[in-house]
């Protein structure tokens, strides 16, 4: 596994970690898959209060060696006291004394970022979290969040990024690179678009490069992402076989021609999650995040 620096912390993280959204319906299999990933060096595991997978992650990391645990506080909990309460809950579910990377899940324009970041710094001061990150933040939102911090730095911005979804390349990725903020790419396989057969320029480009390397399209998609530098991809770890396939992508060396051919391909059929939700979330973040939290809780309770 290859490693890069997390922000400017001096701490090393794997270029391919593991996401956990929509895991949990098969907890024993999911836990085995996560443990296998840790063994392969995929030692960054990302979860969230909203995913209701923190307990699953807590079980998977129990007894394991060095693992960087990342979780997120939901936007409806961005008030000072709610941030503290949410973090304490996450600590209990994860069974850890300190969360390595605690992230704001989406921007919430309804609550002053200064109040939220004051709570985040208090959590660092108390040793309950080690690093502060954000997710789905634009450049302007990232600057505002950083300016609201008195002594800490934001070390990461988690955004949707794949060969199919590229809007962050315009401003977010270059800014994060210049400011030493690590980009964490969620949905790096475009919610399985890279796994499915389809009539897409991106799929065709991935297929061509995959044929030259004797690899899968999914592996080439991950290899293309991490070739960009300053980036960690977090594909969902659904099975041991899937985890092993993802981990192997870190060893693929794409040529300049390979990268250029994928760079040139575009697919407008895969609509980014952020572009569909950003305007809505900025106005109604507390409402929709509490609604999604309830939906995920019910999904877990009923095993669907």
Residues classed as catalytic: 51
The secondary element (H helix, E strand) that includes residue 224 is helix 217-226
List the end-to-end C-alpha distance of the chain, in Å, as a whole number. Answer: 33
Buried-state track 181-197, b at ≥16 Cβ within 10 A, e below 16: bbbbbbbbbbbebbeee
Distance of alpha carbon 89 from its chain centroid, rounded? Answer: 20
Angle of helix 113-125 relative to helix 139-147, nearest 10 degrees, comes to: 60
Q: For 81, what's the count of Cα atoms within 13 Å in the CB-facing half-sphere?
A: 0
DSSP calls for 144-156: HHHHT-SS--EEE
């Amino acid at each position: 596994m290859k490693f890069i620096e997390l922000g400017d912390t001096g701490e090393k993280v794997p270029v391919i970690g593991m996401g956990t959204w929509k895991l949990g319906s098969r907890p024993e299999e999911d836990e085995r898959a996560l443990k296998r990933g840790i063994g392969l060096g995929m030692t960054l595991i990302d979860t969230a209060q909203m995913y209701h997978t923190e307990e699953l992650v807590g079980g998977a990391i129990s007894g394991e060696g060095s693992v960087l645990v990342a979780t997120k506080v939901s936007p409806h909990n961005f008030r000072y006291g709610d941030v503290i309460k949410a973090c304490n809950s996450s600590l209990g579910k994860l069974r850890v004394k300190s969360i390595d990377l605690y992230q704001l899940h989406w921007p919430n324009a309804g609550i002053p970022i200064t109040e939220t970041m004051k709570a985040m710094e208090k959590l660092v001061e108390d040793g309950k979290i080690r690093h502060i990150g954000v997710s789905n933040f634009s450049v302007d939102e990232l600057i505002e969040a950083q300016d609201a911090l008195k002594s800490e730095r934001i070390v990461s911005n988690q955004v949707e990024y794949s060969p199919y979804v590229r809007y962050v390349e315009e401003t977010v990725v270059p800014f994060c690179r210049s400011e030493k903020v690590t980009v964490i790419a969620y949905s790096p396989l475009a919610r399985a678009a890279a796994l499915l057969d389809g009539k897409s320029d991106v799929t065709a480009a991935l297929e061509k490069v995959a044929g030259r390397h004797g690899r899968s399209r999914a592996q080439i998609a991950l290899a293309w992402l991490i070739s960009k530098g300053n980036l960690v991809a977090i594909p969902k770890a659904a099975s041991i076989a899937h985890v092993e396939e993802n981990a192997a992508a870190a060893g693929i060396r794409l040529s300049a021609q390979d990268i250029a051919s994928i760079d040139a391909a575009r697919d407008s059929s895969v609509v980014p999650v952020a572009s569909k939700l950003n305007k809505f979330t900025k106005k109604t973040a507390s409402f929709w995040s509490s609604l999604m939290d309830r939906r995920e809780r019910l999904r877990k309770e009923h095993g669907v």
